Amino acid sequence: MTVIAIDDEPLALRLITGYIEETPELSLLGKFTNPVKAAAFLKENVADIVLLDIQMPDLNGIEFTRQMEGGPKVIFTTAYKNYAIEGFRLEAVDYLVKPFSYKDFIRAIRRAEKLINLENISYGHIGSNNEFLYLKSSYKIKRINFNDIQYIEGYNDYVRIYAVSSPEPIQSQVTLKVIETRLPAGKFMRVHRSFIVNLQMVDTIDRGRIVFGKVYVPVGDKYKEKFEDYLGKNFL
Residue 200, pLDDT score: 92
Judged against a pLDDT cut of 70, whether residue 206 lies above it is answered with yes
pLDDT band at 121, cuts 50/70/90?
low
Total Cβ atoms within 10 A of residue 189: 20
Residue 204, pLDDT score: 93
Give me the domain span that covers residue 149.
127-233
Tell me the pLDDT tens digit for each residue of 23-32: 988 999 899 9
Contacts of residue 71, Cβ cutoff 8 Å, sequence gap at least 6: 46, 47, 175, 177, 178
Task: For residues 194-207, give the mean pLDDT.
Answer: 94
Mean of all residue pLDDT scores within the chain? 85
Task: For residues 193-212, give the mean pLDDT.
Answer: 93
Q: Report the percent of the chain where pLDDT is more than 70.
A: 90
Sign of torsion, CA 2 97 54 154?
positive
Distance CA 101, CA 103 (A): 5
Based on the domain organization, do 6 and 118 belong to the same domain?
A: yes
Tell me the pLDDT tens digit for each residue of 125-143: 444 457 888 887 766 778 8
Based on the domain organization, do 15 and 72 belong to the same domain?
A: yes
Based on the domain organization, do 109 and 214 belong to the same domain?
A: no
Torsion from C-alpha of 53, 54, 55, 60, nearest 10 degrees: 110
Based on the domain organization, do 134 and 119 belong to the same domain?
A: no
Specify the 3-state DSSP secondary structure of 7.
coil
User: Looking at the 3D structure of the chain, how many domains does it have?
Assistant: 2
Which residues share a beta bridge with 163? 149
Based on the domain organization, do 114 and 134 belong to the same domain?
A: no
Asked which of 63, 91, 123 is the last residue of a domain, the reply is 123
Judged against a pLDDT cut of 90, whether residue 14 lies above it is answered with yes
Q: CATH number for the domain including 206?
A: 2.40.50.1020
Residue 50, pLDDT score: 93
Q: CATH number for the domain including 21?
A: 3.40.50.2300
Give pTM, 2 decimals. 0.55
Cβ atoms of 98 and 77 within 8 Å: the answer is: yes
Cβ atoms of 112 and 75 within 8 Å: the answer is: yes
Distance CA 60, CA 41 (A): 16
Based on the domain organization, do 140 and 224 belong to the same domain?
A: yes
